[in-house]
Amino acid sequence: MTIGFIGLGIMGAPMLRNLLKAGHSAVAYDIVSSQLDAIVAEGAERGASSREVASRSIFTITMLPDGPQVEQAVLGEGGALEGAKPGSLLIDMSSINPLISQKIAIACMAKGVEFLDAPVSGGEPKASDGTLAIMVGGKAEVYEKALPFLKQMGSSVTLVGPVGAGNVTKLANQIMVACNIAAMGEALVLSTRCGLAPDVVFRAVKNGLAGSTVLDTKAPMVIDRNFKPGFRIRLHHKDLRNALQVAEAAMVALPLTSIVQQMLTSLINDGKGDLDHAAIVTFIEQLAGIGMQSVDCPPKA
């Protein structure tokens, strides 16, 4: 089967590699020529535009940074919808505002093209090893068509509701991840201030109620001062912005999300937007005036 793939960044490229490894042929496109060149060298066919990719595929996947880029790639001039044939399927695996997903779905429906929103969680490591969590919004029968190759990119694939539900679920995921990292940062900074080794504290709590995938993945990065991006701060900032926009429309207060969003804004202004979101911890460190090294616990007042 030939699968179209648009967007070959830190997540898209490894996702496409897993489809190629599974035996699919693929036609790919990215506005960054070097990224396209790299995946063509690994066996994908070169597409000249989003329109051409869709015209040569029954299934077309988009994996792009945010809603405006998805709208341009799908609905814009030379976009995928211009080339998509009636009866074909477009799957947007980007993390975007669910209202944009629904807008694109309506445009696809008018042309007889099926649509799913299927954002992912797990960052570059899980994109590389094919164990992403994929949250899908759309019709059940369309989901069943896509399920076999979605499983080649993710170890967990769940239909969560109609179009837009995938991205609502992803926003919920991103809220929990961001607040979890921030809470982990406060805990480790407090432990460090009190003279404890953060790696020892991590090992002590990871198998208790505080344990989580976030803790297991991000605490070692923080302790090792490894902020090579698996998921960039600026992209998490975008996700929380979308969550807050949806929350405003739904009249839902998200106080913790709002606070962490302000942390991310500060980090971006401090030149850290392209670091891994584990670097949220550095905001807490800066407030405390310490790094991740053991110091004496201050005496009680």
Q: Among residues 162, 187, 219, which one ends one of the domains?
A: 162
Tokens 């990119």 map to which residue?
153
Q: Which domain, by its residues, includes 151?
A: 2-162
Say yes or no: 281 and 143 in one domain.
no
CATH number at 205 reads 1.10.1040.10
The DSSP result for 72-128, as a single string, is HHHHSTT-HHHHPPTT-EEEE-S---HHHHHHHHHHHHHTT-EEEE--EESHHHHHH
Please tell me the pTM assigned to this model.
0.90
Q: Among residues 117, 134, 162, which one ends one of the domains?
A: 162
Say yes or no: 107 and 44 in one domain.
yes
Active-site residue 170, yes or no?
A: yes
Helix axes 255-269 and 165-193, enclosed angle (nearest 10):
70
Say yes or no: 119 and 221 in one domain.
no
Mean pLDDT of 65-85: 97
Residue 298 lies in a domain: no
Say yes or no: 155 and 172 in one domain.
no
Say yes or no: 246 and 110 in one domain.
no
The token duo for 279 is: 């670097």
Selecting among 170, 218, 238, 272, the annotated active-site residue is 170
Residue 179 lies in a domain: yes
Q: Among residues 129, 162, 195, which one ends one of the domains?
A: 162
Say yes or no: 140 and 209 in one domain.
no
CATH number at 50 reads 3.40.50.720
Residue 238 lies in a domain: yes
Say yes or no: 82 and 144 in one domain.
yes
CA distance to 51, 92, 276, 285, per residue, from 8 (Å):
16, 13, 19, 34
Q: How many domains does the chain have?
A: 2
Residue 276 lies in a domain: yes
pLDDT tens for 13-58 read 999 999 999 999 999 999 999 999 999 999 999 999 999 999 999 9
Say yes or no: 209 and 276 in one domain.
yes
pLDDT tens for 179-238 read 999 999 999 999 999 999 999 999 999 999 999 999 999 999 999 999 999 899 999 999
Say yes or no: 12 and 158 in one domain.
yes
- What is the C-alpha R_g of the chain? 21
